Structures are given as structure tokens and as C-alpha cells.
Amino acid sequence: MQLKGTHKALFFLHKHKMARLSRTLLYLILAVILIIGSFPVGESAIGVNWGSISVHRLMPSTVVDLLKDNKIKKVKLFDADPDALKALMGSGIEVMVGIPNEMLAALSSSTDASDLWVRQNVSRYVVKGGADIRYVAVGNEPFLTSYSGQFQSFVVPALLNLQQSLVRANLAGYVKLVVPCNADAYESSLPSQGAFRPELTQIMTQLVSFLNSNGSPFIVNIYPFLSLYGNSDFPQDYAFFEGSTHPVTDGSNVYYNAFDGNLDTLVAALNKLGYGQMPIVIGEVGWPTDGAVGANLSAARAFNQGLINHVLSNKGTPLRPGVPPMDIYLFSLLDEEAKSTLPGNFERHWGIFSFDGQAKYALNLGLGNRLLKNARNVEYLPSRWCVADPSKDLTNVANHLRIACGAADCTTLDYGGSCNGIGAKGNISYAFNSYYQVQMQNAQSCDFDGLGMVTFRDPSVGDCRFLVGVTDSKNSLAFRPSHRWTTIWTSILWGMWFFLRF
């Protein structure tokens, strides 16, 4: 006879002379069983990052359907977008919500601010039939070297305040606080010698102690692509999972891929602090498909499929044999064509799906589907494009191109991009069309002083896709909920911080 959950516990009590237990003790035991049973234990899985810095934004309900159709059970958000969280309610998908770095100062200084944030962004959604929020990411890579320490002192105080707020909201046993870190938080020439940056040693000791005390994992973002992109001497095959002609030998351990080497550097760094067994989650990992040399469909597929196969094989790493990361969150679900290109043009092309939820390449996530399934019921603008009028003199087009590419995404036109080889007129047409679609195909937006014209024939060339926008009424960046609500909450929390401080 198969018995599960509470029924199994009741059978156990009966078998061991339940009648001898007092009624009070029995109720107490059953209450504990029910409480424990109400907090399901998570299983290791492949999740995704869902970013929304896009001018062509799918409806959140469409994205949630896309996640469900692909059996993706875990999703990481970079803020607490109410539209995304509402769409995730009742979906059964485990959620990590994010707090932007800019909010950390206010949250670190006031428990009133942390109470307010938890109440509005966690408690209201963690209800029966609500969103299954498991983690709150306190900041995003707040120790990044390029930030020059500007968020560093706020992290631990913000964690402590938010933890108190979760306790007051009776959510501390279910919702865990984490801090996604960039891999530049630690360093070493060999994995076994890994250590956190000297200026971070004290704060990392406090952080991992907090995480350990509260049952939270250490979250790290690992990007072999960036190692390859930023270092011409980096062995290309070492970035992938098919073996390397340039393995790294570290004593008796040999590393054939950058992912394992990077992960074990973190393991060694944690070990130096006395937390070598701390669970690790990969918060971001992936490979872009455009915008740079080496960023293409075949490389992205090879990396992501190799990564998934490697992690799901449970092989682990030399320092953690048989113990892969708890979870990995692929970066990312969708392209985000409004992201900053400061790191590189590839920043807008990390998605395993294009902006409209169409799979870019064949990928088996190991979740039941052999191939990715496309988004359903996507509503596109009419099938028409804006191109350069072939009968016009395009000599004085430079200013129009600056305007078009300032408002729209033209990163595929640059060196290494999928549209780099379509010629000068093709480049102009691509820029014109990108702007036209951002402007929701407004007729005037294809004028360009008479140099543009609307066509009903798809001008796409090979891998260079001339897009057609989607009809989400919230496409405009000015009305994107995630940006609007992040701005509002930052203003509210900063206001509270200044009021309480002065």
C-alpha cells in the first residue's frame, strides 16, 4: 500500500499506539506535519531569466504560457513587475523576484521601507492560488568591480532588514533572500586557489554566514562567453563542453571547460571562509546569438545544450564530484533590444527565443520536450516593412540613420552581426524598418524626408531578419510596467530613507 504525506503520518501514528498519545500531543504533531507539508521541497531544474528591457514586449500572459508550454518550472525576474507577477499567479512556476541595486540604500536604512517592499511585492502575491515566490534577489551583482563599491555597504544591512520583514510577514520559512554575484567577486590562477577579492573578504564572510543561517544558496553568474570575448588568448574550445585541447591542470584535477573551472574557483573561495559545502545556484549563464564575433546561433546552441547535458548528467565538478549546482537559470528567455550596449552589442541578443517568443534554434532543456515550443497567439503588426526608396539619392542619409538607430536596435548591422554583410542600402533599410516598427508602423515614421517607403514584401536576407513588431499596447518604453514600477518604488523608498534619516 502506498501512503503519502499526511496519510502516511497518520498510519505511522496508528501503528505505534496512537491511542496512548494525549489529544493535545497528537494535534501538535499533526500541526507540525501539515506545516512542513505546506512548504514543498524544490527540485533541481533548468530555469530562465525573464528580462523585459524591450520595446517589443510580449504580453506577460503570453510569456507565462510560453514557460508552461516548455515545462519551465523556475523563472528569475530582475524586479517585482506587478504585471509579470499577476500573470504568474496560479501557474505553479517558482519565482525569484529582484530588487534593483538602486533600492538597496533605502532598504538598508529603514525597516519601515523593507516592510513596505515585502508587503507590496511579496505578501500580496504569496496567497492561495498566487505566485510561488521562493527567492528575493537583494540587488543584482552589487559587488561588480565596475560599480567601484557604491552598493557594497548596503547589501548586508538590507538583507537583515528584509529578513526581519519576512519574519513579520510569516514568510521567512518559505521565501529565501539571496544575492546574485558576478564571478568577478572571486579570483585565482587555479580553481583550487580561489578566493574572494581581498576588499570583499569581510562582507562575503557576513553574507555567506547569513545565507547559511537562513538556508539560502549562494547565487553566482558565470559567463564563459565574456571570457572569450574579452581575451583574444582565451582558448575557444575551453568555453564549451566538448573537451579542450588546452585543459587546465590543477594538481590531480584537470578542467576541460571554463564553467567547471569557474565554479570550482567559487567552491574553493567558499571553503576558505568555512562554507565549502554551501549549495550553489547559477543565476545567469548563456551565450548570445548576435552582435559580436562568436555570437551566433550555432555557438549558442552548442554552449547551452552542452551546459544542460553537463549539469543534468549529475557529474559535478572535480571539487564537487556528483554534486552539480542546485539549479541553473539560463540567460535569457527573450531578446531585450533596449538593453544598454555598453558591455557590447551582444547584450541585446542573449535570448533562446527572439523578442516575439519564437525559438532561435533547436534546444532540449531536459524537461520533457525534445525541442523548444514557440509562443502561441502572438499578435503582430501588419506584414509591412519600411525600406530605403531605391529611386532616391541616399547621400545625405547619415542623420536619419542616427535618429533611427538611436531609438531602435541596429546592433545586428555592426561587425560580427547577422546583418553586417547586406550592403549599404540594406543597412539603411534595416535601420529605417527598425525605427518604423518601434513607432508601431506609424506612416510618418517611414518618411525620412522622402527617403523611405513602405513595402509589403519581406526584405529579410538570409540570417538577417527584418522584424515586424508585436501589437502589445504597452510596447512603448515610457509605459513599460517594469520600468514604471521600479522608478515609483525607488522614489518611495528613497523618500522614506531621507525622511527617516533627517
| Cα distance between residue 185 and residue 197, in whole Å | 6
* Cβ atoms of 241 and 309 closer than 8 Å: yes
* Cβ atoms of 403 and 435 closer than 8 Å: yes
Q: Over the range 62-85, which residues count as b (16 or more CB within 10 Å of their CB) and which as e?
A: bbbbbbeebebbbbbbbbbbbbbb
Cell of 460: 529579410
In 256-343 the beta strands, taken as DSSP E runs, fall at 280-285, 316-317, 320-321, 328-330
* Cβ atoms of 162 and 214 closer than 8 Å: no
The one catalytic residue among 94, 284, 336, 347: 284
The one catalytic residue among 94, 141, 336, 347: 141
| H/E run at residue 137 | strand 132-138
Cell of 42: 524544490
| Cα distance between residue 72 and residue 81, in whole Å | 19
**Contacting residues for 362 by C-beta, under 8 A, at least 6 apart:** 301, 371, 372
Q: Please indicate whether residue 284 is annotated as part of the active site.
A: yes
**Residue 188, CA distances (Å) to 44, 208, 231, 271 in order:** 28, 19, 16, 14
Residue type, 109: S
Q: Please indicate whether residue 337 is annotated as part of the active site.
A: no
C-alpha angle with apex 363: 468 to 419, nearest 5 degrees? 40
* DSSP calls for 334-349: B--TTS--SS-GGGG-
Instruction: Indicate which residues carry an active-site annotation.
Output: 141, 284
